[in-house]
Amino acid sequence: MIEPAQIAQIEAVERDAWLDIYAAAPPPIRSALGIVQRRLDDGALLICRAIDHLQFNRLGYLGITAPARAEVVDPALADFDAAGVKNWIVHVAQGADLFNTLCAARGLTPHPRTWAKFIRDNRAAPVAATALAIREVSAGEGGALGAAPAQGCGMPPVVGEWLAALAGRPRWRCFVGFDGDTPAAAGAVFIDGACAWLGIGATVGSHRKRGAQSALLAARINAAIAGGCTLLTTETGIPHGGEPAPSYANIQRAGFAVAYPRPNLRRA
């Protein structure tokens, strides 16, 4: 059974990674996309007005180290409406019971997709073979980092320009899988003390099922361990019965275990 202290670490490192992703957006992109990030008690509000997608419009991480407060939750929910986004979620970590109660009292109901929060220790990553060349990229190669997630997730090119700003940024290590000179897959790891969060993982459709994400997971795990991390975390959606779940399987093969399911809530 996972301890409350570990839940606090897992949620905090993910929260801080996402706050930094939003903070990294260059001013022209921040303005064009309507990017807003705000720390709220022990949680965070993330809004990207121009991309009406739940990955970019979220309220979460509240109620872990201090009771969630209505005077924080209500203005945050109002901010989604003010931004004009309809596809937003509130995620509630295990143990954040008061936060869950506040959300229920405001008419929020479960989203069909629950995310699994994964955790692993600092054992070396399993060897993962791929035909792609996995390489860490620096600030001058940010374009290669951003290209694969934007294409692989069907996002506009400006998202790739945004994510490119993470390459070379403090606390980030960024990896790209190249097919020759073409960036075909990417992933990043955010390192904060003894904790690391793995995210921004995506593969261009033409290069899937070639071991890219397993190799990128291994590269990021080993980078985090080399940086002194002893707790590594990531997340993905829990598959429904009979649904293909390559990300879920890749994460487990990389040595992660489910720490807890984290429900997503939305307006009914």
pLDDT over 90 (residue 45) = yes
End-to-end CA distance of the chain: 32
- Residue listed under structure tokens 């939305």: 266
User: Which tens digits make up the pLDDT trace of 235-250?
Assistant: 999 999 888 888 999 9
Q: In the beta sheet, which residues pair with residue 44?
A: 39, 60
Could you give the CA distance from residue 149 to residue 9 in angstroms, rounded to a whole number?
26
pLDDT digits (tens, 9 = 90+) for 116-162: 999 999 999 999 999 999 999 999 899 999 988 888 888 889 999 99
Question: Rounded mean pLDDT of the chain?
Answer: 96
pLDDT of residue 194: 98
- The per-residue pLDDT for 1 is 79
Is residue 164 within 8 Å of residue 143, measured between CB atoms?
Answer: yes
Mean pLDDT for 91-113 is 97
